[in-house]
A and B are shown apart, each in its own frame.
Chain A
Amino acid sequence: MAEPRQTLEPPATTVVTGAAGWLGTALVHRLLAEGRPRLRLLARDTAQAASLRALGDVHVVIGDIARSQTAARLLHDVDGPCDVIHAAGLIHPRIVRDLYEANADGTRHLARAARRAGVRRFVHVSSNSPFGTNPHVADVFRAEEPYHPYYAYGRSKMLAELEIADAVERGLDAVVVRPPWFYGPHQPPRQTTFFKLVRAGRFPVIGDGQQRRSMVYVGNLVDGVLAAELTVGIAGRGFWIADARPYTVTEIVATVGRALADEGFSVKPPGRPMPAIVGRVAELADRLIQRTGRYVQQVHVLGEMDKTIACEIGTSRRDLGYEPAVELYEGMRRSISWCVATGIEL
């Protein structure tokens, strides 16, 4: 029988990078609601800093994660137990090189600074991308898998994970959390396109639509990140944090359509699926474009659409006590009503 899970008390200081991002904002909201004593947040610019300060009593540091001085400033002079939640990451860059600087170099700088500062627990937010796509639709990624990065983003996130593994060898107490595609309140503008395409019946379903996708509601992800932060004895390990089960692409489109309709939007029925060749062509185009060091978001996303990316959360349930509370329909409704309340047009 597994030993009962032991947990840590919340630390005196909690550092969050990428604090103004999608996950970061949700995290900060939760940490403030839970009454975490000191929050030290990394923002990219003054605009982000202002929006974070508006949330409550937080200490904001402005800087570029890709630069080593940023990490040193962020972790300068912390006293008492300090945890770091490294949620900063670049996903859709202007040029490919930015990915490596932000994701891989940034993580190395931060992990090194954390080791020097005697950080108690370091939670690295990774991705499914270091593992690529499942070999077939019924396959599910286990907690431990061989790396097979999906293009440059995947490679940059793999390198980041390897930096973490290296830091753990050198004594840092770090764990890796791997969320797949997430959704929910605080979404960035690019996600609005997703709702608009579904509304218009134009979401690109490729092939038979039976490809499966693990997704995670951002609230579930916050649960998982905090469970990973406060669970004892898991240094060096990685955990999938996802909804209870993977969804088929057809199910995702139908569920989002239903959630939109139930929030009062008009929704056109989904159009005809695209032939499988479209996904192949887009993937090829993505590869060729990235080879030149450039990056086109739409092509990248389309190229990934016909793949299965599914993971199992059994290990996270068992070892982190993680239980996904929200499912796709409910999560999408919350996401849509957040957009409406925020004045985002869908």
Chain B
Amino acid sequence: MSRSDAHAQVLVIGSGAGGATTAAVLAEAGLDVLVVEEGGWVEQGSVVPFSLEQMDRQYRAGGVTVALGLPSIAYTEGRCAGGGTEINSGLYRRPPADVLARWAVDYRIRDFDPDELFAIADEVERDLSVGLRPGAATPASEVLRRGADRLGWQNDEIPRWMAYPPDGNASQAHRQSMTRTYLPRAERAGARIEVGCRVDRLELDGPRARAAHVTHADGRRNTVRFGDAFVCGGAIQSPALLQRSGIRGHIGKTLAVHPTVKLAARFADVVNTVDDVPVHQVTEFAPDLSFGGSASQPGLVALALSDHWAAFHTAMTDWQRISVYYAAITSEGRGAVRSVRGVRDPIVTYRLTRRDRELLRSGLARLALVMLEAGAEEVYPSFRDAPVVRNRADLARLQDRFVAGRASVMTVHLCSTVPLGEAEGITGASSYGKVHGTDNVWVNDASLLPTAPGVNPQATVMAIAIRNARRFAASRSARG
């Protein structure tokens, strides 16, 4: 992009699961598309997954940001070409049909046909090579299956969007993230992609947005004029940009997340798989509560032990026999995203309800029970002053001492800050993602999901983004 003004028929802001699919669909429909991405383009394999270098280059704020509240909830956002798809675990879950049906009714979303979304999901699954892992599961994943089976609790293997080499060597898999799939597709169809380019604000003239004011990584500033803008910065950055642009309405007021709590568990044998995450999830209590495995590099094991480091740190010498697991809940709480004039990043708050705290407590204990059943020698729950759990009596101690305010609550699933639909007062955008009160500003990312879906949300984000982008492309070509 030159120092002078640029122009695009459609400006797509952000290049994650929402932005990349939007760009590909619109470019393939013959529209002139410019994608701007705040982060850089990092080739897969050039940084080690879950490493500090990756956090620095691909995560916002070097890894962790915090939603203020009691407790504060740490969250991570991708900030790179491909967004969250470059750094997440690559687990793929279709949206539950009953969740889609409830959204359609509660938020009065027009033409929100689960069958259409599932047909799109079929395509996405082909495009991303969604499938089960070849060969045996990793030991850390096997732990979840074994523990749950012994309790008679439902569990299953989550498919992932990974391409495996012909010999089926799972450790040589390639993540089918956006930089390997929809972004190259968008480029092949003529889309331009500009990385290291942050949108400061949109300039509006009444309901109509005219231009985006952008700052480049090297400090240059200029404006981009466009016909339509698609804001796809994720559930924190999208509402923040709209707010900075002076757009009012139901924007950023209903942040929804899946709060998670963690524990580390030590086994007799080596379970730690440094470069891979478990693919099994325990779904017995879904959607309210689900258990899975987390990345367990030594640094992350240390992080999981850090809440009661004085008591737990000696376990670190056994890190190869330790793996980290999480319990995630659907939350009745809500958060807010507020941008503050003159401050670069928005202030994010989140409040857990009493039911959420109870669910985190019982979720952590049930997860610890899975670990004991799987043969864990010691379990280290991630909250301040947590007891070491070695047997069932210790589970009572865990629950007695658990206070959500002392736990490391974190989340990777952020959504619902600009819910779509026609219901007044609870939606920020139309049934197809056009921001209420504007003519040509669209949101097309996780912000649109009316609530947190209770499953890994990427599939839902992609299906809805593709639906909306197709609708938009069809309306443009109809108009000529």
Enumerate chain A interface residues (CB-CB to B < 8 A): 130, 132, 134-136, 138-139, 142-149, 155, 158, 162, 165, 315
Contacts and interface: CB of A to CB of B under 8 A. Distances in A.
Given A144-B152, A148-B365, A315-B152, A139 B396 contact: no
Contacts of A146: 362, 365-366, 368-369, 392, 395-396, 398-399
Interface in B385-411: 392-393, 395-396, 398-400
A264 to B, nearest CB: 42
Contact of B393 (A136, A142, A144, A162): A162
A114 B359 CA distance: 39
Contacts of A149: 396
B157 interface: no
Contact of B396 (A136, A142, A147, A315): A147
B476 interface: no
A204 to B, nearest CB: 20
Contacts of B368: 146
A142 B288 contact: no
Interface in B233-286: 284-285
A147 B400 CA distance: 10
A15 to B, nearest CB: 27
Nearest to B362: A135
B151 interface: yes
A143 B151 CA distance: 8
Nearest to A134: B362
Nearest to B392: A147
B308 to A, nearest CB: 19
B188 interface: no
Given A142-B153, A162-B392, A162-B393, A147 B288 contact: no
Contacts of B361: 135, 148
A123 B361 CA distance: 31
Contacts of B359: 135-136, 139
Contacts of A147: 392-393, 395-396, 399
B126 interface: no
A148 B151 contact: no
B366 A145 contact: yes
Nearest to B359: A135
Given A142-B153, A155-B396, 11 more contacts: A132-B399, A136-B355, A139-B359, A139-B362, A143-B151, A144-B151, A144-B369, A145-B369, A147-B395, A148-B396, A158-B393
B358 interface: yes
Interface string B359-379: 101110110110001000000
A139 B285 contact: yes
Nearest to A162: B393
Contact of A136 (B358, B373, B392, B398): B358
B362 A148 contact: yes
Contacts of B369: 144-146
13 contacts: A130-B396, A139-B285, A139-B288, A139-B362, A142-B153, A143-B151, A144-B151, A144-B152, A144-B373, A145-B366, A146-B365, A146-B369, A146-B395
What secondary structure prevails in chain B residues at the interface with A? helix
* Most chain B Cβ neighbours within 10 Å, of A136, A139, A145, A162: A136
Interface string B439-452: 00000000000000
Nearest to B363: A135
Contacts of B365: 146, 148
A275 to B, nearest CB: 15
Q: Which 10 A-B pairs have the closest CB atoms?
A: A146-B395, A146-B365, A147-B396, A135-B358, A148-B399, A135-B362, A135-B359, A146-B369, A136-B355, A144-B151
Interface string B404-437: 0000000000000000000000000000000000
Nearest to B353: A136
Given A138-B288, A148-B362, A158 B152 contact: no
A146 B362 CA distance: 8
A135 B355 contact: yes
* Most chain A Cβ neighbours within 10 Å, of B392, B393, B396: B396
B289 to A, nearest CB: 8
A129 to B, nearest CB: 12
Contacts of B363: 135
Contacts of B362: 134-135, 139, 146, 148
A173 B214 CA distance: 74
A145 B361 CA distance: 13
A130 B396 CA distance: 9
A147 B365 CA distance: 8
Contacts of B399: 132, 146-148
Interface string B183-204: 0000000000000000000000
Contacts of B366: 145-146
A139 B400 CA distance: 19
A340 to B, nearest CB: 41
A148 B369 CA distance: 12
A149 B285 CA distance: 21
B402 to A, nearest CB: 9
B211 to A, nearest CB: 48
* Most chain B Cβ neighbours within 10 Å, of A130, A135, A155: A135
Interface in B138-162: 151-153
Contact of B152 (A136, A142, A155): A142
Contact of A165 (B392, B395, B400): B392
A142 B284 contact: yes
Nearest to A144: B151
B288 A136 contact: yes
Nearest to A133: B358
Contacts of B396: 130, 146-149, 155, 158
B356 to A, nearest CB: 9
B346 to A, nearest CB: 30
Contacts of B153: 142
Contacts of B393: 147, 158, 162
